[in-house]
């Protein structure tokens, strides 16, 4: 079972590393920031694929291209990681 607070933190950290944009939010703001559209995090289609590769390495969870097309926020990515982590 995955520690979802750790997943949220790592998804944000990895996103910042990949895009080079933004800064880590205050703890009280994490959930709200996860709901922001990906473009507000500086994520475009290319960096989304790079993000998926990093997340696969971090969590051992493969995010398929067709799954990524439905992703609109980091919260969507966290949800995918959570769902795949329970399998």
* List of domains in the chain: 4-85 (1.10.1200.10)
84 by DSSP, 3-state: which? helix
Look-up of token digits 């520690």: 3
Terminal-to-terminal C-alpha distance of the chain:
10
H-state helical runs in the chain: 4-19, 30-34, 45-59, 65-68, 74-85
Predicted TM-score (pTM) of the model is 0.89
- DSSP annotation of 72 reads -
pLDDT value for 87: 44
How many CB atoms are located within 10 Å of the residue 49 CB? 13
pLDDT per residue as tens digits for the range 18-44: 999 988 999 999 999 999 999 999 998
pLDDT per residue as tens digits for the range 50-75: 998 998 999 888 888 788 888 999 99
């Amino acid at each position: 079972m995955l520690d979802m607070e750790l997943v949220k933190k790592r998804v944000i950290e990895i996103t910042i590393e990949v895009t080079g944009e933004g800064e880590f939010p205050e703890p009280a703001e994490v959930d709200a920031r996860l709901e922001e559209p990906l473009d507000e995090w500086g994520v475009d289609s290319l960096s989304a694929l790079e993000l998926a590769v990093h997340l696969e390495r971090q969590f051992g969870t493969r995010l398929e291209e067709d799954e990524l097309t439905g992703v609109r926020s980091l919260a969507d990515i966290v949800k995918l990681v959570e769902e795949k982590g329970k399998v």
